[in-house]
Structures are given as structure tokens and as C-alpha cells.
């Protein structure tokens, strides 16, 4: 077995690989940019080598620097993780030529499957179902329109070297096709250095289901069930699960056997994933093959009882697979939720900054957290904004969902915006719970963006009773101030009013051993907890049921977060509540005359000038963030009064770009 391997990656996947290598007794070498100097993966590894400045094009994508790090440290093999150089055939070939093992498939398989056009042709030859489309290279926008008209709208334009939702656009007509071709080409060039785009038929009401395969160098290939990856936003996976609530055994077997056939066609070895689009009749079509470890691999590991990273290492070392297809069974259910540094209340704009507080839920036999950050660390603008992956397990799907809801409630992050509230709301959404999934679920259920989960109007009792107990605890402490005159000590009243979301809720709070009894609407709620002042998680029971509520005291208010809902609460005595009803409401300033930047990013284009008349829907500016081009359109007709930012400027959130008359 290898004595030392180098991980050519960063973040959570680098940490994940280090854990398996450590379990196997293998020493590890981390590589890092100057932005990652104090990151978790550099601390976990036995050695760490600096390879360049923050931009990945000057560090993690430079194969020569990673190869030199191998030579300098004596690493015998390289695990590329996912992203960066994981599917770069030239990198794998250079390592192999130097006698350094590449923990992944052979160069031929990477080349054949890494190009979406070539891979589709090979899939057809291997007898794999494929989507109708044009597999040649699209020359320009006019060519794209002609091809799309022949295939029939809607169509999907995709970067040939693409992945992760980059370089991908859906078009429903000629205008969208032209614009989509330009955007897809630009993003493909920026992200992959390859501007080629191809077109295929867009399958409506699709599911995205992928098959995990594993192959060794001795001709053995198995499939480890499927992963349901349909819960996506803008082609980016959000929730993944194993198995799929949609597949039946016959479809699972057919998909698995086609995935194995494709792997054998390219003499594949190592872990890989064959992705399929599945329609509502369980007809499935080949999408692409990822010749690497997937982000969502933990759900397969949990349900099949395997360690895919360890198996990849063993295969790269020449070992045979330790099991056959007949040995593969799916036991239980696992779900993964991706926690990103993004603001779901601002159309999921990326967030960067320091993790002032970072408290993931405790891991157990039903909860796993894969992360690459620590409290005090930075979420950098240079890399993917993933903070962590939460994976939960249950004997069935409902148990896995319940475990996920509990884990997300206990995940406390401050310093950057995050999507935990959105993930929790998704877990509780009736359509998700019922398993009625498609890649359009989020777009259909949240057409105007995510505004936060609602507290049930008919029963806000959990929030009302918990905040009443917390406030009474604070008041009891305040009443113990020293220097009070004997016989005139402050007496804390039992009657309070909870003001929340414009409503007033009277409560009666009585201290009892271990907590408080809260009388709300003539019902008694026993709130019990060992919560201490300053703790961000209020964990305990309400009428015997376990609860976990995130709580922050913010001057006169409390901010509570639970079940995807976040509310600001004001606690008042009865007289103050009477007066509060007459307080005027301060409205936010009117920014309707300005085009403001919805995210931090680089202003790559200003499409208008002072005095120009613009029409609703017209392009005003383009902002690049996280290697994605974001086009800002005019919401209504107007005349440009001032241009407040120039091409090349680095923008902050809400920075004005254009002012209108």
C-alpha cells in the first residue's frame, strides 16, 4: 500500500480524503494557496505545501506545481478529489509518466468521458439510452438557432467541458437561444478554458438520477445503487438521497447495467458516476459520466456500507474489488444537504467573510458532517462557497428527513449568510416529503425566491412559549441585582406579551424546577431546558417533545430560528404592549431609482450610458461572481441619469451601479 499520498484539492473533500487515508495508515500531503494557509485541510494533513496565490488558475489548477509538491515530499500517489484537476487527462498522464499513481481512472477514460460530445457518442455505441440532440460543435449563435429549430424547443445548451451548472442555459425560443449561447460560451471559456457548446433536447418534468459505479484494474465493474439528485437550483444540486423514491427494482437494474456497460467500454477503473435524466414514465437517458468522486458520495457510502475513498485508493494500488454485484445491498436511507455561504433571502447571492461562529450538529450513528472550515475561518470569494455537507441516515426516508430537520436546527453559523433555513424549509415541503421531485421543484415552488418558512398562523405556540421562557429567565437574573433595599426588591411579573410578526400574544410565565410553565391561550406548556445565558441553542423539551431553537438576544429583541423560520420577537409587559400598538412604523428608503449590485463581484460590463433611454427587460450591466455571469436587466422603462460604477470595479452588495431619472 502507498505510504504517502498527496491530495490535490482543498476544503471539505480534502479533509474527507485525509480521514480515509489516516484510517488506512497512509500519510497525507496537503497543497494550499495563500488564502488557505490556515485552513482545516492544511492542519489535518501530515505535511502541507504552498502552491500559489488565491486564484485557482494560479494555484490549484497548476499541475506542474502539484507535481513538484509530490516530488519534493515523496508522495507516491495523488487523489484529486472533485473539481480542479480531477478530470484533467493531461494531469493524470503527467503523473503516470513520472511513476506517481493517479487515484482515479485511466487517461483514456478521462478523455473519452470528459468531453460531453465524445461521451454521448460512446454511450450510443455501448447501447446506453441517449437524449436526442446535436453532438457536433456549435459554431456561433446563428448555428445554435438553426440546430435548436431542427431539434425543437425547448433545448439545453451545454458546455462540452462543463460541470457544476456552469456553461449551461435553457432556451425556449430563438432569442433565448442566441443569448444562452453567448452566456454558455463565456462561462465555459472562463471556467474551463474551453468555449465549445453543444445542444440537446430539454426533457420536461425531469428527474436527475445517477448511478455510482466502481471498477478495478482486473475487469470487475459493479454499480452501487443510485442517487436521487433532482432537488436542484439553477442546475446546482441542493439535496441528494440514496436510494431514489422514484425508481423500481427493474429500472434500477436497467440503469445500473447500462452504467456498467459504458464503464467497460472505456476500460474504466476507480469510482465514477453515470448521470441520467429520467422522465415521469421512468424512461432514462444518458446525461454524462463523471470520472471522479462525487460531492454526494456519502449517501451511497452510508446505504451500501462502503468507503468509496478507501476503495479508490486500493484500486489505484492494483487491488481487486473485495465484493461482487451480488454482494451489493441497499440498507436504509440517507440524505445529504449542502450548506452554502449564500443568502437565500436575496436570490441566493454568494456570501463571503469570516465565520464568526461555527457550530455544526454533533455527529452520531445517524448524523455525519463533512466540512473543510472551522470557527474563525474565511469563506473566500475565490472558491466554491460550500461550508459543509450534512448527511443523515434512517431506516426509511421519513426517518432520514426527520434526522435532517433536527440536525439543521442545531447547525449554528454566524458571520456569513447561509442557506440552512432554505434547506430546512425544503425538507418540510409537502412535495419533497411525498417524493414528488423534479429538477424544476425549487423553481416551481419558489417562483419569487425564498422568503423564509412561515410560522403556522394557527399554532405559533413553540416560538411563543420558548421566547417567553427565555425572557423570563433573563428578567429573573436582572432582578437579582445587588444593592436593593430590603423589602423593596424587584418583583418580576408573570404576565407578558409576545410581539411577533405584527401580532400580540399574551402569556403567563411561572418558574418551576428545571424550567417554566407557560400559559398561552388557556393551555399549559411545560418548557424545560438546561439552557444557559449566552448559549446560541435552546435545547430542551416543550410538553415532553424535544426541541432545538436558535436564539440571539439583540438589544430589546430576540431572534429565533427553527424549522426554516426566522423571526424577531419583542417581549413587552402588558402596559408597554398597549402603547406599542400606537408606535409608527419606519419604512425603508426608496431605492427604486437605482440599479444596485445584488452580490459582491466584478463589474464586467456596463451596457448603457448617461441620457440613454432603456426599456424593461433590456440588459443594463453584467456582474461576475464565483465564475458565473449575472446579467442585470431593467425592471421598467427609464432614462439613465448617472453611471456610478465602471467596468472592472469590484462591487459590494447593494452598491449602486446606475441611477435613473
Catalytic residues: 288
Question: DSSP strand E in 34-186: where?
Answer: 47-52, 77-79, 101-102, 133-134, 155-163, 166-171
Task: State the first-to-last Cα distance of the chain, in angstroms, to the nearest integer.
Answer: 70
How far is CA 102 from each of CA 12, 61, 86, 97, 551, rounded to the nearest angstrom? 20, 16, 10, 10, 47
> Would you state the cell numbers that stand for residue 66, as one nine-digit string?
502539484
At residue 39, φ and ψ (nearest 5 deg) are -80, 170
> Would you state the cell numbers that stand for residue 225, as one nine-digit string?
445503487
Query: Chain centroid to CA 511: how far?
Result: 42
Query: Chain centroid to CA 454: how far?
Result: 22
> Would you state the cell numbers that stand for residue 202, as one nine-digit string?
430539454
Give, to the nearest 10 degrees, the angle between helix 249-265 and helix 116-125: 110
Give, to the nearest 10 degrees, the angle between helix 107-114 and helix 89-97: 170
Contacts of 464 (CB under 8 A, 6+ apart): 498, 500, 505, 507, 518, 520
For 510, the 3-state DSSP assignment is strand
Dist CA 508 CA 518 (whole Å): 6
Alpha helices in 266-307 (DSSP H): 297-304
Contacts of 588 (CB under 8 A, 6+ apart): none
How far is CA 452 from each of CA 436, 478, 565, rounded to the nearest angstrom? 21, 33, 6
- Please provide the DSSP assignment of 118-159 as one string: HHHHHHHHTT--B--EE-S---SHHHHHHHHHHH-SSEEEEE
* Residue 203 backbone zone (phi > 0: left; psi -120 to 50: alpha; other: beta): beta
Amino acid at each position: 500500500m502507498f505510504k504517502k499520498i498527496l491530495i490535490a484539492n482543498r476544503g471539505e473533500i480534502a479533509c474527507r480524503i485525509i480521514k480515509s487515508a489516516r484510517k488506512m495508515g497512509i500519510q497525507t500531503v496537503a497543497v494550499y494557496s495563500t488564502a488557505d494557509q490556515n485552513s482545516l485541510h492544511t492542519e489535518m494533513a501530515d505535511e502541507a505545501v504552498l502552491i500559489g496565490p488565491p486564484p485557482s488558475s494560479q494555484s490549484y489548477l497548476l499541475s506542474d506545481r502539484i507535481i513538484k509538491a509530490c516530488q519534493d515530499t515523496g508522495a507516491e500517489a495523488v487523489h484529486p478529489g472533485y473539481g480542479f484537476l480531477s478530470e484533467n487527462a493531461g494531469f493524470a498522464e503527467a503523473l503516470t509518466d513520472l511513476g506517481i499513481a493517479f487515484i482515479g481512472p485511466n487517461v483514456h477514460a478521462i478523455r473519452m468521458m470528459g468531453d460531453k460530445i465524445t461521451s454521448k457518442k460512446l454511450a450510443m455505441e455501448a447501447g446506453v439510452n441517449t437524449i436526442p440532440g446535436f453532438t457536433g460543435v456549435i459554431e456561433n449563435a446563428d448555428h445554435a438557432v438553426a440546430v435548436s429549430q431542427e431539434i425543437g424547443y425547448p433545448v439545453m445548451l451545454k458546455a462540452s467541458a462543463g460541470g457544476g451548472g456552469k456553461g449551461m442555459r435553457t432556451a425556449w425560443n430563438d432569442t433565448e437561444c442566441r443569448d444562452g449561447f453567448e452566456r454558455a460560451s463565456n462561462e465555459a471559456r472562463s471556467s474551463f478554458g474551453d468555449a465549445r457548446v453543444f445542444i440537446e433536447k430539454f426533457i420536461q418534468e425531469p428527474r436527475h438520477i445517477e448511478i455510482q459505479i466502481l471498477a478495478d484494474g482486473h475487469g470487475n465493474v459493479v454499480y452501487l445503487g443510485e442517487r436521487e439528485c433532482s432537488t436542484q437550483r439553477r442546475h446546482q444540486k441542493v439535496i441528494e438521497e440514496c436510494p431514489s423514491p422514484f425508481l423500481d427494482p427493474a429500472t434500477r437494474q436497467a440503469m445500473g447495467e447500462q452504467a456498467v456497460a459504458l464503464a467497460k467500454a472505456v476500460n474504466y477503473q476507480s469510482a465514477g458516476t453515470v448521470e441520467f435524466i429520467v422522465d415521469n414514465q421512468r424512461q432514462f437517458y444518458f446525461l454524462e459520466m463523471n470520472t471522479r468522486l462525487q460531492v454526494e458520495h456519502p449517501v451511497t457510502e452510508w446505504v451500501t456500507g462502503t468507503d468509496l475513498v478507501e476503495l479508490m485508493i486500493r484500486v489505484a494500488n492494483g487491488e481487486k474489488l473485495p465484493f461482487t454485484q451480488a454482494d451489493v445491498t441497499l440498507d436504509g436511507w440517507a440524505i445529504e444537504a449542502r450548506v452554502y455561504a449564500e443568502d437565500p433571502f436575496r436570490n441566493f447571492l454568494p456570501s463571503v467573510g469570516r465565520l464568526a461562529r461555527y457550530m455544526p450538529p454533533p455527529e452520531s450513528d445517524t448524523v455525519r458532517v463533512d466540512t473543510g472550515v472551522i470557527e474563525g475561518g474565511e469563506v473566500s470569494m475565490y472558491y466554491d462557497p460550500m461550508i459543509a455537507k450534512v448527511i443523515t441516515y434512517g431506516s426509511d426516508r421519513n426517518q432520514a428527513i426527520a434526522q435532517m430537520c433536527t440536525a439543521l436546527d442545531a447547525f449554528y453559523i454566524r458571520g456569513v449568510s447561509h442557506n440552512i433555513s432554505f434547506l430546512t424549509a425544503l425538507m418540510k415541503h409537502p412535495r419533497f416529503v411525498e417524493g414528488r421531485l423534479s429538477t424544476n421543484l425549487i423553481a416551481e415552488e419558489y417562483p419569487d425566491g425564498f422568503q423564509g418558512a412561515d410560522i403556522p398562523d394557527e399554532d405559533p405556540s413553540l416560538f411563543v412559549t420558548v421566547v417567553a421562557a427565555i425572557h423570563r429567565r433573563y428578567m429573573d437574573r436582572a432582578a437579582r441585582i445587588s444593592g436593593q433595599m430590603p423589602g423593596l426588591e424587584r418583583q418580576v411579573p408573570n404576565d407578558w406579551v409576545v410581539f411577533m410578526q405584527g401580532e400580540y400574544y399574551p402569556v403567563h410565565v411561572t418558574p418551576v424546577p428545571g424550567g417554566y410553565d407557560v400559559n398561552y391561550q388557556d393551555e399549559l406548556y411545560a418548557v424545560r431546558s438546561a439552557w444557559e445565558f449566552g448559549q446560541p441553542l435552546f435545547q430542551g423539551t416543550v410538553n415532553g417533545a424535544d426541541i432545538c431553537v436558535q436564539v440571539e438576544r439583540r438589544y430589546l429583541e430576540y431572534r429565533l430560528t427553527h424549522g426554516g423560520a426566522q423571526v424577531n420577537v419583542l417581549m413587552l409587559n402588558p402596559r408597554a404592549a398597549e402603547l406599542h400598538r400606537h408606535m409608527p412604523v419606519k419604512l425603508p428608503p426608496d431605492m427604486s431609482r437605482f440599479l444596485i449590485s445584488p452580490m459582491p463581484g466584478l463589474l464586467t460590463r456596463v451596457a448603457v450610458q448617461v441620457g440613454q433611454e432603456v426599456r424593461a427587460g433590456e440588459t443594463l450591466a453584467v456582474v461576475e461572481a464565483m465564475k458565473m455571469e449575472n446579467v442585470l436587466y431593467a425592471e421598467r422603462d427609464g432614462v439613465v441619469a448617472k453611471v456610478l460604477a465602471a467596468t472592472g470595479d469590484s462591487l459590494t452588495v447593494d452598491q449602486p451601479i446606475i441611477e435613473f431619472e
